[in-house]
Amino acid sequence: MKRLASSSLICFFASIALVACLTATAAAQETKPHSAITPVPRGGGWMNRHKNYNARVAKGSADLLFIGDSITQAWESVGRRVWIKHYGKRNAVNLGVSGDRTEHVLWRLDNGNIKGISPKVAVIMIGTNNTGRNPDTPSQIVDGVTAIVAKLRKKLPGMKILLLGIFPRGQAFNPQRGIINQVNQTIRKLHDGKHIHYLEIGHHFLEADGSLDRKIMPDFLHLSPKGYGIWASSIESKLKELLGE
């Protein structure tokens, strides 16, 4: 009986050791370098826009940043009137670039987009392009968003971050939305209530049945002027708080 008990204990501890080993291996695999966290630039017109951003911040102060992809960039065009109304007097700078993925934002942050400025707040909404062509896994996208937040915290420690969940896309329920939801459920954990504030506003764009209306997202991805109005009104209260207004 003693031998049997001893054997059972050996098997028990061996099982624990095996589980610990597998867990450590999985964790190590998950943190290996991958595309979503490897800073890279893009070519062509993208580089021109990047240089224009560098020229803007080189002029001096900026109190509010918007960082993201084409949905953020279009504050300059489709969302211009809403931008002027809400951010025209807030010394705001738009750092959105069409087509950007997390890796491209990381490169821009390392190469001048935030050099020499001390903003009060940055609004970040990034990651939808990582779910598109050559998609990353949800965990890789989380890594990418986390890396952006970490880089901003390191480079601009006095700045507060308003991290937005990735907006829904596609007219109705679809696998891409599932990936986005998984990412959002995880990056909300970055919220610390002090330096990093997570806000989920995607539901404000949806109809009661979960669909997207063309009046808000004409192509079920990019926002209309009405959509930008929803974005601005959905973050206004939190933005005032973070800006100390």
Residue 87: per-residue pLDDT: 98
Task: Kindly list the strands in the beta sheet with 92-96, ordered across the sheet, starting from the edge strand earlier in the chain.
Answer: 92-96, 64-68, 121-125, 160-164, 196-199
Residue 23: per-residue pLDDT: 41
Residues noted as catalytic? 70, 219, 222
Q: Which two tokens stand for residue 227?
A: 């959509």
pTM, whole model, 2 decimals?
Answer: 0.87
Residue 31: per-residue pLDDT: 57
What are the helix and strand counts (H, E) for the chain? 8, 5
DSSP character string of 150-181 = HHHHHH-TT-EEEEEPPPP-SSS--HHHHHHH
Kindly state the helix (H) or strand (E) to which residue 28 belongs, with its residue range: helix 2-30
Amino acid type, 53: Y
pLDDT in tens, the chain (245 residues): 444 444 444 444 444 443 344 344 344 445 589 999 999 999 989 999 999 999 999 998 899 999 999 999 999 999 999 999 999 999 999 999 999 999 999 999 999 999 999 999 999 999 999 999 999 999 999 999 999 999 999 999 999 999 999 999 999 999 999 999 999 999 999 999 999 999 999 999 999 999 999 999 999 999 999 999 999 999 999 999 999 99
